[in-house]
A and B are shown apart, each in its own frame.
Chain A
Amino acid sequence: MTGPQIAFLIISALTVASALLVVTGRNLVRSALWLVVTLFMVAAVFTTLEANFMAVVQIVVYIGAIAILILFAVMLTRKVMNETQPQTNSNWWMGAIVSGVIFVGILLMILSVDMPMRPADDVSGQIVGLGNAFVSPDAFILPFEVASVLLIAALIGGIAIAMPREEES
């Protein structure tokens, strides 16, 4: 058991624990905060993979934008659901079984495949490479541009959906 492995195990344990708290928590605000923790731990997982840029993006995009957005949504809507009500629906046991079955399936699949790959030693220059890959015509400029169009569409859609109608105001 080497140092990095121990670090990874600690990080994963924290990740899984906080993810479980997200799913089971009765108080939605706390759930959202645990989500922040989970996402932060995932960023830590990225650093163990030496994907530093991804870690930063994870924090900025997921925690900085998405989780905060969720927090706001929770606060805007929290008066209709308090902690006394049940937080799970009547089918929760079935969900648990299905998730468990799928987990076992994935686990078996992972273990059945031989993975001889060793991590590469030198991962320098990945940010430059990533930047080039996004704007190079023979790499990923098209998906990149499509993603930006998607974001614009989502932005406009979000405004259009959430905007109060005339007759309501």
Chain B
Amino acid sequence: MIPLEWYLILSAVIFCIGLYGVLARRNAIAIMMCLELMMTSITINLVAFWRYGNVIDLSGQVFAVIVFAVAAAEATVGLALAISIYRNRDTIVANDLNLLKW
């Protein structure tokens, strides 16, 4: 049998890879992709805890589905913003967007 820890570690690895990407990438759309990685790592956690806990109680899966919904909403709005910024500023480099600088 696969120990629960393995799933959790896998999830942590993907989460941290995604986190690195979010912090390091220049392209806003790439940042969005890394965000999706982080979200999906969370669903791994939720489903794994469901599987190793009380399977009758489906809260884990329910929340995983809700994370899907949130991810979809985030992708929609985020990409729309990216396109809109691209259209207005002709760039999608996150570091160029510093209108709120001191």
Q: Which residues of A contact B (CB under 8 A)?
A: 2, 4-5, 8, 12, 15-16, 19-20, 22-23, 28, 31-32, 35, 38-39, 42, 45-46, 48-51, 53-54, 57-58, 61-62, 65-67, 69-70, 72-74, 76-77, 80-81, 85-89, 91-92, 94-96, 98-100, 102-103, 106-107, 110-111, 115, 117-120, 122-123, 126, 129-130, 133-134, 139-140, 143-144, 147-148, 150-151, 153-155, 157-159, 161-162, 164, 168
Contacts and interface: CB of A to CB of B under 8 A. Distances in A.
19 contacts: A19-B37, A22-B37, A49-B7, A50-B51, A66-B72, A72-B79, A77-B82, A85-B26, A87-B25, A89-B26, A95-B24, A106-B16, A107-B12, A126-B61, A130-B58, A150-B70, A154-B74, A154-B76, A161-B80
B96 to A, nearest CB: 10
Interface in B1-60: 1-10, 12-27, 29-30, 32-34, 36-37, 40, 43-44, 47-48, 50-56, 58-59
Contacts of B14: 15-16, 19, 38, 42
Contact of B5 (A58, A61, A76, A111): A111
Interface residues of B, number: 76
Given A65-B72, A80-B92, A164-B87, A154 B77 contact: yes
A144 B61 CA distance: 12
A162 B84 contact: yes
Given A22-B21, A39-B40, A120-B55, A51 B83 contact: no
B37 A151 contact: no
Contact of B12 (A39, A46, A92, A110): A110
